[in-house]
Amino acid sequence: MNKNQDTADSLRNLTVDIASLMPTNNGNLFNIYFDNGATTPPMESVVKAIEEYTPWYKYVATNSLKADFLSSLYERGRKTIKRFVGANLENDIAIYTKNSTEAINILSNVIWMRHYKQNPVVITTYMEHLSDYLPWKFRFETILVDVLPDGRLSMQDLEHKLWQYRQRVKLVAVTGASNVTGYVNPIHDIARLAHQYGAEIFVDGAQLVQHRTVCMRTADPAEHIDYLSFSSHKIYAPAFSGVLIGPQKAFDAALPLYFGAGMETFATDYEIKLKKSPARYEGGSNNLLGAIATSCALLTIDQTGMSAIRKQEQDLLAYGISLLSQNPNVIIYGDTGYLEDRIPMISFNVQGKTCKETADYLYDNYGLITKNGLIGSNLYVQKLTEGTPYDGVVRVSMAFFNQRFELDRLAEALMGFQ
Ligand SMILES: Cc1ncc(COP(=O)(O)O)c(C=O)c1O
């Protein structure tokens, strides 16, 4: 067994075994899980942490040392999150949310409350997931930055729109990495441009933080990422949870979306005083296990090393693209010659087949789990497939635990699909 295979095997052991048997048209087959862009399987370490703390759950609302300890884990988790994304430990806060969608809605409301009197504009892009488009669209005048024919973001168009709407642009909201083509956006270059025009930047990190080291507060403040969010269920931590990170000052100057117990320091019939952030954004009972799972996953990623993860994922991406490129019936979206800064994701169609026909065939006959359709990025997929008979894509989204033999199975399946 060679060293690369050893590394791939040890990475595979980090997550729970997802290759369970399932009955299909061709009898029992092993699952091959290629839908990590939607949700990742939990890490073994995360499952252990949840098992360890679940029995403690009955103490949550009690006046006991165990309740205090759980609360301290919840609070400590914020530090783990901030360290992981290179936030400022003093001035930035990490708010626990349900998922990325909720995080972006909270932020949209915060930005709105700060700027609504100034006829504000938010610039976002054609590359976004709807969760980083609709929360802006329903509150602000929203301007979209175009993509180039190969699907990459047009930096020229971004600069043009920043100039065109100068003074009114309060925020640039951009995805860290596309959930369709896998392109990683140059977030620090975008930050520099946004700041130059007096706007802040929000990065949707749902597809970024599990694949790349992120540093919000770089040495040069001009390149800082002001706000960032991500989803725990996409970083190997189930128990639905997400995070929104940004400067405490900005959150203290606004109000949350939800109101309820736990967010107040004082409440009577005639006077209400809210706690400072993040507590004012977390009314009601908290998702303690979600928070514990999130920090545990981040610590495991740290221990494993992002460079080992990236190396394995880069190998899978290059291997997958080279295999699928050999099939004349497969149309791959995005520049297949550009693998440099892409997360391990391949979106494609098979000539003459709908994306659903392809995905059903792969699942029913080969146990391959993919995603198909507009996959949450309606505007982007419509751009990529414009003028063709296809109205969606099939997406294979990989993670560090996937292996080359799984891509061999995909390539073999597609060769036999006429
Ligand atoms: C880029 C991107 N942003 C946001 C989301 C929304 O994440 P969630 O469903 O966890 O809110 C997704 C989900 O796939 C995504 O891919």
What percent of the chain clears pLDDT 70, i.e. is strictly above it?
A: 97
Residue 333 CA to residue 180 CA, distance in Å, equals: 8
Residue 359 CA to residue 157 CA, distance in Å, equals: 35
Quick check: 225 pLDDT over 70?
yes
Domain 47-303 belongs in CATH node 3.40.640.10 = yes
Return the ligand 1 atom nearest residue 131 CA: 4
- Residue 276's identity, in one-letter code, is K
DSSP letter for each residue of 132-182: GTHHHHTTSEEEEEPB-TTS-B-HHHHHHHHHHTTTTEEEEEEESB-SSS-
Residue 345 CA to residue 350 CA, distance in Å, equals: 16
- At residue 338, the 3 state secondary structure works out as coil
Choose the residue to mutate in 128, 203, 207 for probing ligand 1, maximizing ligand atoms within 8 Å of C-beta.
207
Residue 330 CA to residue 333 CA, distance in Å, equals: 10
Quick check: 259 pLDDT over 70?
yes
Where exactly does CATH 3.40.640.10 map onto the chain?
47-303
- Residue 225's identity, in one-letter code, is I
Residue 8's contacts (CB-CB under 8 Å, 6 or more residues apart) are 312, 403, 404
Choose the residue to mutate in 40, 96, 100 for probing ligand 1, maximizing ligand atoms within 8 Å of C-beta.
100
pLDDT band at 265 (very low <50, low <70, confident <90, very high): confident
Nearest CA to ligand 1 atom 13: 38
Measured in Å, residue 333 CA sits from the centre of ligand 1 at 20
H or E element, residue 30? strand 27-30
β-strand 27-30 against 21-24: which pairing, if any? antiparallel
Q: What is the model's pLDDT at position 396?
A: 98
Contact (Cβ atoms closer than 8 angstroms) between residue 287 and residue 143: no
Instruction: Give how far Cα 398 sits from Cα of 41, 78, 210, Å.
Output: 11, 28, 11
Mean pLDDT of the chain: 94
Measured in Å, residue 38 CA sits from the centre of ligand 1 at 7
Range scoring the smallest mean pLDDT among 48-57, 216-225, 313-322: 48-57
Measured in Å, residue 121 CA sits from the centre of ligand 1 at 23
Measured at the CA of 10, the angle between CA 345 and CA 230, to 5 degrees, comes to 45
Nearest CA to ligand 1 atom 16: 179
Q: What is the model's pLDDT at position 203?
A: 98
Choose the residue to mutate in 131, 180, 227, 375 for probing ligand 1, maximizing ligand atoms within 8 Å of C-beta.
131
Measured in Å, residue 59 CA sits from the centre of ligand 1 at 33
Quick check: 1 pLDDT over 60?
no
Q: Which of 231-240, 241-250, 283-292 has the highest mean pLDDT?
A: 241-250
| Ligand 1 site, CB within 6 A | 37-38, 99-101, 129, 131-132, 175, 179, 204, 206-207, 231, 242, 376
Q: What is the model's pLDDT at position 24?
A: 67
Where exactly does CATH 3.90.1150.10 map onto the chain?
3-41+305-415
Measured in Å, residue 68 CA sits from the centre of ligand 1 at 33
Q: What is the model's pLDDT at position 26?
A: 67
Quick check: 344 pLDDT over 70?
yes
Choosing among 3.40.50.2300, 3.90.226.10, 3.30.360.10, 3.90.1150.10, the CATH entry for 3-41+305-415 is 3.90.1150.10
Residues across the chain: 418
Measured in Å, residue 379 CA sits from the centre of ligand 1 at 15
Q: How do residues 94-148 score in pLDDT, each as one tens digit?
A: 999 999 999 999 999 999 999 999 999 999 999 999 999 999 999 999 999 999 9
Q: How do residues 60-91 score in pLDDT, each as one tens digit?
A: 667 888 888 888 899 999 999 999 999 999 99
Q: How do residues 188-203 score in pLDDT, each as one tens digit?
A: 999 999 999 999 999 9
